[in-house]
Structure 1
Amino acid sequence: MPAVLEMDLPVERILAEPSVARQVVPPGFDYIRTARGLEAVSYAACEAVLRNTALERRLPEVFRASGVRDETVLDISAGLLNNAQGDRHLRLRQALGAFFAPQRVEAARAMIAERIATLLARADRPAGLDLVRDVARHIPAHLFAHLIGVSPRQRAYFNRISIEAFRVFEMNPELGDGVTGAWRDAAAWVNGLIESQRGETGDTLLPYLAEQRRAGLLDEDEMRLAVTMLLIGSVDTTQGLMGVMMRAFVDCPDQWQALREDPSRVPAAVLEAARWRPAEPWIFRVAPDGVELEGIPARPGEHIYALIAAANRDPAVFENPDTFDINRVGEHLPLTWGLGRHFCLGRSFAVMELEELLLGCLLRWPALGYRDPVSGAAASYFSARFTLPVKPVTPV
């Protein structure tokens, strides 16, 4: 049976450096119990949490922990696909899954590559640019606009809504007003969008969802919630991954050079960057009465955290786990996009965007550095979710 260690691990330390749990927990312990609940640290323990179908999402608890008291927003959280259980979850996954087919991902690749090239050309200057604010922030929102068939001029709105709404997963009660407002705005915008596109045909999201509704796989409310979920989830998380991925290469110039010498490693490099520094530190679950994790009894209603950033640095799974190495082979996938029945539906789109951003930057810059080397190197890596001031450098 895996060992459990009672210890204090302040949330602030995880948010500053998510892999810290792997560093401070003694070898041999797969789980720790903290004031927050039961936290899985090892890769095997996180895998057990994510594959356990008895554990529940209970998103309304996440929203309440972030200070949300608005009943409309709490009802939205309860109806989302990510909160669904059992047969309803399977039905909704079936209805939405086909939209994320590989052929649709590949059909969007050239458009995303062209958009990235345009953004890089506009922002590139000798003094440098902010790779997140000038480039990364505009890519997922552009793709979302393309997928739902609206003007890309709305991407600034998508960014604001997604960033503010996604902060609910920080579970900080001081965020209540901002989170509530963002989710209410998102729901209102989606309602207007569905009314404006009702009856339209084509290969975009709403006609697809309407077809699923006619097939009996979705009802009207589930259509609205599906679009709301995609608006919130498809922008902030991918933008965050773009920022921390590019920071990884700024911090490790030898890996940038290795990738320039062999661009065929770009897909592997994206996965390695997602392993080394995921944009989100944990995945949340709740234990109902009578649930065990690998023989460890969970307390009824206990909060369970799969600390994926720690699992991605597990030395039992990844050789030299604290080394950023784009040439890793034959190892497990990172848990960055989850696992099991709640595996991220949009992962293929996100990976494609990350690949194209990396390729676009590789073609343009032989080397990258911080615009301000002292403050850049000292910044928390999480800051790269929101800002990454860089400039091209001449290799020695």
Structure 2
Amino acid sequence: MQINLVDRDHYATTGPPHEQLAWLRANSPVHWHEGEPGFWAVTRHEDVVHVSRHSDLFSSARRLALFDEVPEEQIALQRLMMLNQDPPEHTKRRSLVNRGFTPRTIGALEQHIRDICDDLLDKCTGEIDFVTEVAAPLPLYVICELLGAPVADRDKLFSWSNRMIGSQDPDYASSPEDASAAAMEVYSYAGQLATQRRAHPKDDIVTKLLQPDENGATLDESEFELFVLLLSVAGNETTRNAASGGMLTFFEHPDQWERLVADPTLAATAADEIVRWVSPVNLFRRTSTTDQLLGGRQIRADDKVVVFYSSANRDSAVFPDPDVFDIARNPNPHIGFGGGGAHFCLGNHLAKLELRVLFEHLARRHPRLRQSGPARRLRSNFINGIKELPVTIG
């Protein structure tokens, strides 16, 4: 079988290459993939978890965590972002940021998220684009709430995130330089936000993060700006695309939609099954720190190693009937939020809360919701994204 797991045009037209990934899991689960540079494609659940949980062997900092190669002069700055750090640096930074994502803090947002969902759905009549009218605004409203930013700023966050993540998609950005320009705009915005909170503290995550913790440690200016960048992308893109991908999946599996309509409390397990099925983040890159064996293959120090969550989440060794979308699936040990370890998604509880509340409200309020046009996918091998999903409220 011809293998190309990073062809952006395939993702734009079809989504993740599940046929290729299934073949690799069965025949070459740690596979040398040609490219510039070539890389090891890791496709089995067990191996993805192993890579994820051993930062000492598979580094996020050495050559960063995103798939594309980064110019040498940018690497030092990018390593200030938690995404591109290894323990112990990552552990220190994450402990500071964790203060804003405790279960109590996230749990307190549920009623606010319900109000947001009701407000969004109140405005939905006739034919709409589910992405721009529902899936995208929800996490953006929540991010504005977390940052204590005006809701009017959500359009800025939406644009910046699209330009950074969609730099290879003609609808969102014309060049990688435009993506860099969007990042600089986020840095500037974060700097202004920090200045405002230092002068006028509020009960929000920004104020918490700018204050010293119990040990007197704080995020410096660059670290804070990079955190806001990470939140505006990770907290937006994943939930947005899980929601839009989940809605599309329900249209493709109407029996499961009817099941949810009949029992909206299934939204709790549906949220996890949506994340498993959609896998909003398709891949991350690591770099081997030493010569080692993985899945029976010899990995060399400094080799590029890429884990594919879309593949691991369809692994029949872990999931009975992995190609069946089952909203009551339990247990559901998916790794749509990462395979554990240092980089397990900080906002996983928030994302699941948003998805649970959204689909519960949709099932109760719009049981006859239907697709009214073709979905358009993002041209990205990183984010499994939906750009447009026409629906009719009926």
Q: TM-score range by the shorter chain?
A: 0.7 to 0.9
Counterpart in the other structure of 1:51:
53
What is the match of residue 330 of structure 1?
331
Alpha-carbon distance in 2 for matches of 1:167, 1:182: 11
Is 1:133–2:132 an aligned residue pair? yes
Partner amino acid, structure 1, of 2:359: L
Q: Give the Cα–Cα distance (whole angstroms) in 2 for the partners of residues 248 and 381 of structure 1.
A: 16
- Partners of 2:50 and 2:167 in 1: CA distance: 25
**What displacement does 1:278 show?**
1.3
Contact 1:7 1:34 in 2 (8 A): no
Aligned to 2:390: 389
After superposition, the C-alpha distances for 1:85-119 in whole angstroms (9 at most, x for unaligned) are 22211111111113111121121111111111111
Of stretches 280-289 and 351-360 in structure 1, the one that deviates more from structure 2 is 280-289
Q: Tell whether the 8 Å contact from 2:160 to 2:186 is kept in structure 1 after alignment.
A: yes
Query: Are 2:22 and 1:23 aligned?
Result: yes
Counterparts in 2 of 1:287 and 1:242: CA distance versus 1, 3 Å: same
Q: Hey, what's the Cα distance between the residues in 2 that align with 1:389 and 1:183? A: 30
1:304 lines up with 2:305 in the alignment: yes
Deviates further, 11-20 or 158-167: 11-20
Q: 1:203 to 1:74 in 2, by over 3 A?
A: same
Change (3 A) 1:191 1:262: same
> What CA distance in whole angstroms lies between the structure 2 residues aligned with 1:210 and 1:314?
42
Decide whether the 8 Å contact of 1:312 with 1:335 is kept in 2. Answer: yes
C-alpha deviation, 1:292, in angstroms? 3.7
77 and 219 in structure 1: CA distance in 2 versus 1, 3 angstrom threshold? same
Contact 2:106 2:350 in 1 (8 A): yes
Any idea what the Cα deviations from partners look like across 1:26-58, whole Å, max 9, x if unmatched?
A: 625321111131011111111111112221113
1:331-377 deviations in Å (ceiling 9; x for gaps): 423334442110010111111111111012111122332213xx35x
> Is 1:163 aligned with 2:157?
no
Give, as a single letter, the amino acid of the residue that structure 1 aligns with 2:195: E
Cα distance between partner residues in 1 of 2:204 and 2:39: 42
Percent of aligned pairs with the same amino acid: 22
Structure 1, residues 2-23: CA drift from partner, whole Å, max 9, x if none?
xxxx973242276333233333
Q: Quote the residue 1:3 is aligned against.
A: none
TM-score (structure 1 length as normaliser): 0.87
Give the residue type in structure 2 aligned to 1:220: D
Q: Distance in 2 between matches of 1:154 and 1:70?
A: 33
AA matched with 2:136:
R
Residue 147 of structure 1 aligns to which amino acid in structure 2?
A: L
For the 8 Å contact 1:271–1:334, the answer to whether it is kept is no
Q: C-alpha displacement at 1:61, in angstroms?
A: 5.1
For 1:146-157, list aligned pairs within 5 A: 146-157=145-156
Structure 1's 51 and 342: CA in aligned 2 closer, same or farther, altered over 3 A? Answer: same
Number of the residue aligned with 1:11 = 6
Distance 1:56 1:384, change over 3 A: closer
Distance in 2 (CA, whole Å) between partners of 1:245 and 1:214 is 41
Q: 1:358 to 1:148 in 2, by over 3 A?
A: same
Cα distance, 1:163 vs structure 2: 2.0
Shift of the 371–153 alpha-carbon distance from structure 1 to 2, 3 Å rule, reads same
How far residue 303 of structure 1 moved from its aligned partner, in angstroms, is: 1.4
- Structure 1 CA distance, aligned partners of 2:219 and 2:327? 44
How does 1:18-167 map onto structure 2 within 5 Å? 18=16, 19-25=18-24, 27-35=26-34, 36-53=38-55, 54-58=57-61, 65=68, 71=73, 74-125=75-126, 128-167=127-166
C-alpha distance after superposition, 1:104-159 (max 9, x if no partner) = 1121111111111111121222xx21111111111111111111111100000011
> Which residue matches 2:233?
232
Partners in 2 of 1:10 and 1:298 — Cα distance?
Answer: 19
Taking the aligned partners of 1:46 and 1:169, their CA distance within structure 2 comes to 26
Distance 1:233 1:329 in 2: 26
Match of 2:317 in 1: 316
| Preserved contact between residue 22 and residue 314 of structure 1 (Cα < 8 Å) | no
User: What is the CA-CA distance between 1:228 and the residue it aligns to?
Assistant: 2.6
**1:228–1:92 distance in 2 versus 1, CA, 3 Å:** same
Query: Offset of 1:253 from its aligned partner?
Result: 0.9
Does structure 1 residue 186 correspond to structure 2 residue 186? yes
Name the stretch that deviates more: 243-252 or 13-22: 13-22
Secondary structure in 2 aligned to 1:39? strand
Where 1:155 maps in the other structure, the secondary structure is helix
1:226: how far off?
Answer: 2.1
Q: Deviations over 1:187-236 (max 9, x none)?
A: 11111111122143332012101223684333423233222322232112
How far residue 65 of structure 1 moved from its aligned partner, in angstroms, is: 3.2
Q: Number of residue pairs matched?
A: 378
CA gap 1:179/1:75 in 2 versus in 1, 3 angstroms: farther
Greater fraction of residues in helix: 1
More off after superposition, 176-185 vs 330-339: 330-339
- Rounded to whole Å, the distance in 2 between the matches of 1:64 and 1:11 is 9
Instruction: Report the CA distance shift for 1:235/1:76 in structure 2 as closer, same or farther (over 3 A).
Output: farther
Distance in 1 between the 2:76 and 2:60 partners?
A: 14
Give the aligned CA root-mean-square deviation in angstroms.
2.8
With structure 2 as the length reference, what TM-score do the two structures score?
0.87
Q: 1:381 to 1:154 in 2, by over 3 A?
A: closer
Matched residue, 2:208: 208
Secondary structure at the aligned position of 1:123 is classed as coil
Q: Secondary structure at the match of 1:306?
A: strand
Determine the structure 2 residue equivalent to 1:277: 278
